[in-house]
Amino acid sequence: MSDDHTAQAWGIYGGILEDLAHTPNIRRLAAEGTVLENCLVSNSICTPSRATILTGQYSHVNGVTTLGAGLSPAYNNIAKELQRGGYQTSVIGKWHLKQEPAGFDYYCVLPGQGEYWNPVMKTADNWEDYYGGGRPYQGFSSDIIADMTIDWIEQRDTTRPFLAMTHFKATHEPFDYPERFSHLYRDVDLPVPATLYDRGPETTGRSFVGQSIDNLTKRYLAATADSSLRKDFMNYPELPFSVAGLTADEARMKTYQKYVKDFLRCGAAADDNIGKLLDYLEESGLAENTVVIYTADQGYFLGEHGWFDKRLIFEESIHMPFVIRFPGEVRAGARNRDLIENVDFSALFADYAGVDYPADMQGRSFRENLQGNTPDDWREYSYYRYWDHSRDRPGHFGIRGQRYKLAFFYGNGLAVNEYAPGEAPTKYWDFYDLEEDPHELRNAYEDPRYRDIIAQMKEEILSLREVLGDTDDDNPEIREIIREHWNDGSGKR
């Protein structure tokens, strides 16, 4: 798994960067396995997504709702279940769950985001919770993480099956890369999204502002002016950066070109190491009996709507690119359009491993789906909730089906967060017809053509909230916002 390695940069999902993405090994996996077209994250932010994958539970159940939360070693997870079933287990690279990994025979993980170069990594010998502990390892993080994975597999007990979680820091901000990929795109002007110059909700009628790519410009300039800021997510490659003398549109274009080129180079290094792992499996005779999955913990905006980052229920953010190869069972060169969620990953792992799936985990195995046998009662809508809150990206929940998406932007923080008074939204609903409007350029909530489907989807949201247990019983403020604004505008009942 990579961090933020969004579908637009994989080269197998179409889009303006499809032919430019340097991803021969992702393309190799796609040719030899099955690609998920509608794999969706239930909370598009790193820590909660990783917790959901491990625990098989939505954020409101496992308690990891925001970046600040951690996962207790006492809490059950799918690695523990495989361990109990006779598997030897490891996690190497990005962890981001603050507290000590549990359920793993071996771990060597980055503290927090970690660094791209000469990263500190933590093992059982030098563990400290949160950001302490560990020791530095020399080299580029993606190379180190892949090499460590191969070393661990080499040293395993060959009489027992294994689970190896290889989690790259790439392609998280600041999008760094090794020298061997620095030549990419030097003489190329990348194509731009049609909505790159979108500067506010007035253009589309959406309910919120979003994280403008102009904020990335400010970060580049701040890190250029103050070298002490060049750590963690602001240690950008190839500074200094300047937009002196440029118009606002020209500055945004310059930022976009740097940002996306760096992102693609960073992704190329991850792809290179995927190839290293695939070659090792072939050479060691393990490939035929090993399930290989490559995914990202969520999507990411690459200038669409004038944004970067994630968090929102919009497509670029909630779409988890996902490819799986398992010779003899998973179809080669196939695509699957079923609605899969990150909560389902744990159930798939248990299914392949032949271990019992705990009743308190909420996922459902999609092993049959991957073989082309979608169950008749498979989900029609996926549930999403972003728990954090800010004025530009308000707290919200909603559902996404094959064609329609409906979201309620209640715009309220949690008791554990600080948020400023007066940041409540003035609009609450977004509705999109993804067949007519795949890029979500027009909030059609007030369009009378959709009145009946919106009313039906509101009922579906309420039903899913009850079934999944996300009812805000402990937050009367949010319940009051829902009561007051649920029937605003279209779709009244």
**462 and 339 co-located in one domain:** no
Asked if 338 and 378 count as a contact pair (C-beta separation under 8 A), the reply is: yes
Q: What's the pLDDT at 493? A: 43
Q: How is residue 225 written in tokens?
A: 């002016």
Which residue segment(s) compose the domain that 340 sits in? 7-177+266-367
Single pTM value for the model = 0.96
> Which is nearest to 477 in space by CA: 394, 415, 406, 408?
415
Same domain, 136 and 271: yes
User: Is 133 found in the same domain as 84?
Assistant: yes
CATH assignment of the domain containing 475: 3.30.1120.10
Residue 326: CATH number of its domain: 3.40.720.10
Number of domains making up the chain = 2
Q: 322, 342, 367 — which closes off a domain?
A: 367
pLDDT tens across the length of the chain (493 residues): 999 999 999 999 999 999 999 999 999 999 999 999 999 999 999 999 999 999 999 999 999 999 988 999 999 999 999 999 999 999 999 999 999 999 999 999 999 999 999 999 999 999 999 999 999 999 999 999 999 999 999 999 999 999 999 999 999 999 999 999 999 999 999 999 999 999 889 889 999 999 999 999 999 999 999 999 888 789 999 999 999 999 999 999 999 999 999 999 999 999 999 999 999 999 999 999 999 999 999 999 999 999 999 999 999 999 999 999 999 999 999 999 999 999 999 999 999 999 999 999 999 999 999 999 999 999 999 999 999 888 889 999 999 999 999 999 998 876 655 556 556 677 899 999 999 999 999 999 999 999 999 999 999 999 999 999 999 998 888 999 999 999 987 645 4
Residue 309 and residue 444 share a domain: no
- Final residue of a domain: which of 340, 367, 394? 367
Are 299 and 443 in the same domain?
A: no
**Same domain flag for 316 and 457:** no
pLDDT of residue 422: 58
Strand ranges, E, within 197-312: 292-295, 301-302, 308-309
142 and 291 within one domain = yes
The answer to whether the beta carbons of residues 411 and 423 sit under 8 Å apart is yes
**What local confidence, expressed as pLDDT, does residue 126 receive?**
97
pLDDT at 483 (0 to 100): 94
Residue 114 lies in a domain: yes
pLDDT at 390: 85
Residue with tokens 């993606």: 142
Q: What are phi and psi of 270, to 5 degrees?
A: -65, -45
Query: Within this chain, do residues 362 and 387 fall inside the same structural domain, yes or no?
Result: no
Residue 140 placed within a domain: yes
Note whether 26 and 148 are same-domain residues: yes
Question: 455 Cβ partners below 8 Å, 6+ apart?
Answer: 491, 492, 493
29 and 158 fall within a common domain: yes
Q: Are residues 66 and 138 in the same domain?
A: yes
Tell me if 412 is assigned to some domain: yes
Q: State the pLDDT at residue 477.
A: 87
Cβ neighbour number for residue 224 with a 10 Å cutoff: 15
Q: Residue 415 has what pLDDT?
A: 61
pLDDT at 121: 98
Q: Which residue has the tokens 């994250």?
A: 41
Assigned domain for 255 exists:
no
